[in-house]
Amino acid sequence: MVALAATHHDPESRLYHQTGRMLPILCTFYSYIAILMTPSTHTESRSLLQNAGVRVSDGQPGIPQGYTHLGLWRRQALEQALRGAPDATHIHFCDFDRVLHWAEFYPDELQATLEYLQQYDLTVLGRTTRAFDSHPRLQRDTESIVNHVFALCSGLSWDVTAGSRGLSRRAAEAIVRDCLDDTVGNDCSWPLFICRQAGLSSSYVPTEGLEFETLDRYGAEIEALGSVEAWMAQIDADPQLWVLRLEIARLGVEAIVTYR
């Protein structure tokens, strides 16, 4: 009895075809699927999801989007799953683009992970070394900082920046009620809150399926540049993206200091 709670942002409808392919699999894996959709996500995605029986909700009017409010969006997604699936004992939170990739390329691992996470109140789902190294350098370098500080303060050598968690019903309810970190720092604050303040059980699983999923929706651009390596090198060469990723890392470290 595991429900999926996810946020979905796809204004250019890049995930539409992958969503259509993977929805039948996701609907067999989860007892209930709740998607919190940004207003700018293409309307055809809404119809596709609703026709498959997925509960699609909009974020509250006026709530800003982006990494400074990602924690707020994720709490709302959890709340939608709690309300819509009263019989679910556990909730798997995962950004929708990541769970689509996981279901397409590592379905057996995803299914096994959903069975495993029902043993704990919190299961942090991270990445194997190979999966972590599949990301561009600007993500690897900045997320390594967050994971290092998390280990320093918690004693837990976990990859906490992959945006996926298994939560028991009581853990999800506690986060919605009491862990009011509105930023992307919730990658760190949720585990620390559950382990340190709520005193609930926890575990960690490194996965292959949480590898770099963004490649799935940029096939045309990758083909134009000639290779995945060339496309990723272009990302790593953009100083503004480094500024963004460093700010995301700062918010993660700030959350660690707050909730340690």
Phi, psi angle pair for 14, to nearest 5°: -70, -25
DSSP 194: I
Angle at 95 (CA atoms; ends 66, 36), nearest 5 degrees: 70
- Reported as a single tens digit per residue, the pLDDT across 213-257 is 999 999 999 999 999 999 999 999 999 999 999 999 999 999 999
What confidence score (pLDDT) does residue 61 get?
67
Confidence of residue 70 (pLDDT cuts 50, 70, 90): very high
Q: Is the pLDDT of residue 60 over 90?
A: no
Provide the mean pLDDT of the chain: 94
Residue 1: strand, helix, or coil: coil
- Reported as a single tens digit per residue, the pLDDT across 77-135 is 999 999 999 999 999 999 999 999 999 999 999 999 999 999 999 999 999 999 999 99
Question: Which residue type sits at 119?
Answer: Q
Q: Is 225 left (phi over 0), alpha (psi -120 to 50) or beta?
A: alpha
What confidence score (pLDDT) does residue 43 get?
84
What is the set of domains in the chain, with CATH numbers? 2-259 (3.90.550.10)
Distances (CA, A) of 242 to 66, 69, 247: 16, 19, 8
% pLDDT > 90, the chain: 86
What confidence score (pLDDT) does residue 208 get?
98
* Nearest Cα residue to 81 out of 96, 70, 92, 66: 92
Element (H, E) at 105: helix 96-105
Q: Supply 8's token pair.
A: 């979905």
Region 143-156 average pLDDT:
97
What confidence score (pLDDT) does residue 64 get?
81
Q: Is the pLDDT of residue 59 over 80?
A: no
Q: State the Cα–Cα distance between residues 160 and 191, nearest whole angstrom.
A: 8
Q: Is the pLDDT of residue 203 over 80?
A: yes
- Going through the chain in order, the beta strands assigned E by DSSP cover 2-8, 32-37, 55-58, 90-94, 122-127, 164-168, 202-207
What confidence score (pLDDT) does residue 197 get?
86
Q: Is the pLDDT of residue 193 over 90?
A: yes
* Nearest Cα residue to 255 out of 67, 94, 120, 77: 67
* Nearest Cα residue to 59 out of 43, 83, 35: 35
